[in-house]
Structure 1
Amino acid sequence: MQDIARQFLLKFNKFSSDEINLILDNTSIERFRKGQFVVQAGSICKKCYFVLQGCLRQFRIIDGVEKTSDFFLEKEPVVLYSSYMDRKPAESSVQCLEDCILLSGTKEQEITMHKTNPSLEHLIYTLLSDDYKKAESYITLLTCFNPEQRYLALLETRPEILNRVPLVYIASYIGVTPESLSRIRKRIMFHTDKP
């Protein structure tokens, strides 16, 4: 299993072999089955995860309806920051949509790693910055675009999600019903099929 993580970290071309060894010494590799929860709403997110293999979704239940707010694929971090940083109960759940292999670490392991090699702190800032940009893009998507434009933006920016995520969750993510998404997809296909 560590070979999977080592090969994965090597792809970034950012870490020396000593840094990779340090990361592997201070993290664990965990397997989750499709449908399993990595974090459940109401519990504290005690670990930061990184997707080695698989697809996950973040959602919360509002008035009895699941509202999807994010998807996570390979090379992406999975962490509910407000819960992880402040040790507060999570407001969202994270569930595996496929069998997943995740690299995981605790806050304590993170501190130990940074004490041993302070240069690795840039990794956390990079991940935080990337996650912030992703959240900012999603807010813009919901507030500045109509549902069809949201779907087209998803097609353009994260097309791999459409092959791996059930349409009911895609609909929830862009803020429409599955029926509305079906109509949007038919309209788009009709326009692209026209000569």
Structure 2
Amino acid sequence: MENELLAFLSKLDVFTGNEIDELGNLLTVKTAKKNTVIVKQGQVCCDCYFVLKGCLRQYVISDGAEKTIAFYTEEQAINFYTSAVQKKPSQSFLISLEDTVLLVGNPEINAGMFARFPKLEQLTRKMMEEYFGQTQDSFAEFMTSSPEERYLNLLTKRPELMQRVSLSHLASYLGITPASLSRIRKRIIKK
């Protein structure tokens, strides 16, 4: 568990060896077995997460059905900003699809750590800005594409998900039924 954190911090080439050791002792790392619910819809979640290892799915229940809204894998941030900062109930669930290792933070703890390690604050801000931009681009692309284009996009941008996520979860994420996803896959194979 600490190995993943230390390996990630070392890879960044931002911190000195002493800073890495200090951060390794201060940062909170949490493990979750496969199929562990990390956040429940309706729960006030005061934490944000960063995936060091594993795959997670964020989903909502709408009209009695689970609708996947995101998948998170290594080196991706999961932010429940509205819930954490505004103390509002989460609108979604977060579940581990694999055994997972997460870096856990929250606004109160992060403020003190950022004061002590300004490079950590700069790094976190840069990562969040990049993530926000990617999310906006992905949303716009999703809204303007057909289900087949969404699937091809996913194959291009996140091919690892095909091996890590069930077809029913992928179909839900793409906004289609598993049967529709099967037809799309067959059409693509024939081309």
TM-score by length of 2: 0.93
How do residues 1-195 of structure 1 correspond to structure 2 at under 5 angstroms?
1-191=1-191
Cα distance in 2 for residues equivalent to 1:58 and 1:97 = 10
C-alpha deviation, 1:44, in angstroms: 1.4
Note closer, same or farther for the CA distance 1:128–1:4 as it changes in structure 2 (3 Å cut). closer
Q: Which amino acid aligns with 1:28?
A: T
Cα distance in 2 for residues equivalent to 1:159 and 1:74 = 14
Q: What are structure 1's unaligned runs of at least 5 residues? A: none
C-alpha deviation, 1:118, in angstroms: 2.5
C-alpha deviation, 1:53, in angstroms: 1.1
8 A contact 2:46–2:80 mirrored in 1: no
- Which stretch has the larger CA shift, 30-39 or 76-85? 76-85
8 A contact 1:45–1:79 mirrored in 2: no
Percent of aligned pairs sharing the same letter: 39
C-alpha deviation, 1:122, in angstroms: 1.1
- Which stretch has the larger CA shift, 53-62 or 26-35? 26-35
**Partner SS, residue 29 of structure 2:** strand
- Which stretch has the larger CA shift, 1-10 or 182-191? 1-10
Cα root mean square deviation, aligned:
1.5
C-alpha deviation, 1:176, in angstroms: 0.6
Note closer, same or farther for the CA distance 1:25–1:87 as it changes in structure 2 (3 Å cut). farther
C-alpha deviation, 1:106, in angstroms: 2.4
Cα distance in 1 for residues equivalent to 2:180 and 2:79 = 31
Cα distance in 2 for residues equivalent to 1:101 and 1:24 = 14
**Partner SS, residue 71 of structure 1:** strand
Instruction: Give aligned pairs, total.
Output: 191
**Partner SS, residue 11 of structure 1:** helix
Cα distance in 2 for residues equivalent to 1:85 and 1:123 = 20
C-alpha deviation, 1:190, in angstroms: 0.7
